[in-house]
Amino acid sequence: MAGAFAGKRALVLGVANRRSIAWAIARELAAGGARLAFTYQGERIERSVRELAATVDSALVTECDVRSDDDLARVFAEVGEAFDGELDILVHSVAFAAAEDLEGRFTDTPRDRFWLALEVSAYSLVACARAAEPLMERAGGGAIVTMTYLGGERAVPHYNVMGVAKAALDASVRYLAWDLGPKNIRVNAISAGPVRTLAARSIAGFPTMEEIVEERAPLHRHITAEDVGAAAAYLVSDAARNVTATTLYVDSGYHAMGM
Ligand code: NAD
Ligand code: 0WE
């Protein structure tokens, strides 16, 4: 798809390191000629994101905690300045739940950490879509893609409150698609199978999950962040011009199985 994104401007949220799904998506967009803007959360990962951004055509690297309305307002103002008031593509690849809530019983999730997971992992898409809307409208339309997981539709042991957050995210995709469709802004999700990223590596039982995928998925193999990058590139490209409000599974077919 060389040149598929020539002249396109994309904002990417959720790069933490070179293993991040967001980085695989960014590389794919950059390979197609897109100009990129990146946000990172917190000083701990600033250097790693700046180093990665320097290897592609990046117009902006700026801090953003998606829980902060002030951060979001500043970031989208900076994006407007960097891209002449226009934006074509938004990549949302952000999720967080307290580590203790990704083990043990969902039943025990306390109120504050339930809302934390929902705020970071689901509401942030709504806030970003609203902030992106005027910039995409000026560009004549746009495409938003977010990252989800089967645990939002089925009970995956230990995914717990993240599953509830993904269910809210999935529904948000559909309602945003309805609102923004008249402005030629498309909103889609990719449901990825387990990928060994920073967020995934710390999870106990990840190797077991990989074994289950190898045994039961139609393709009997794992997926990579690059597979997700290619799927995201399709969804935000003109080839998907009439695709919105949907979920594209990049999971070796695992979601289709009943056993
Ligand atoms: P990752 O750790 O590389 O990315 C998660 C990102 O979320 C990080 O960049 C982190 O800084 C960011 N983040 C967390 N809290 C934030 C906040 N308050 N403000 C701003 N940013 C914040 O891991 P990843 O696996 O690439 O995750 C990206 C997305 O993919 C997530 O939505 C995740 O749920 C989804 N996903 C991952 C897998 C998998 O197996 N790795 C599978 C399906 C879906
Ligand atoms: O969405 C995810 C993981 C997102 C995530 C990961 C962490 C680890 C570190 C959110 N918050 C945190 N908080 C931390 O402190 N995935 C789809 C990967 C994943 O996570 C699981 C899975 C799968 C798959 C957790 C339990 C069971 C399966």
pLDDT reported for residue 1: 46
Ligand 2 mean position, distance from CA 147 (Å): 12
CA distance 69 to 130: 12
Contact 18, 221 (CB under 8 A): no
Residues 6-38 have pLDDT tens digits of 999 999 999 999 999 999 999 999 999 999 999
CA dihedral over 205, 207, 212, 217, signed as positive or negative: positive
Residue ID of nearest Cα to ligand 1 atom 35: 147
> Higher-confidence residue: 1 or 224?
224
Residues 95-133 have pLDDT tens digits of 999 999 999 999 999 999 999 999 999 999 999 999 999
With a threshold of 0.95, does the pTM exceed it?
yes
Determine whether the shortest distance from the Cβ of 14 to ligand 1 is under 6 A: yes
Residues 145-195 have pLDDT tens digits of 999 999 999 999 999 999 999 999 999 999 999 999 999 999 999 999 999
Residue position matching structure tokens 């942030």:
124
Determine whether the shortest distance from the Cβ of 41 to ligand 1 is under 6 A: yes
Please provide the CATH number assigned to the domain covering 9-252: 3.40.50.720
Determine whether the shortest distance from the Cβ of 97 to ligand 2 is under 6 A: yes
pLDDT reported for residue 2: 56
Residues 161-171 have pLDDT tens digits of 999 999 999 99
Ligand 2 mean position, distance from CA 89 (Å): 25
- Domain parsing of the chain, residue ranges: 9-252
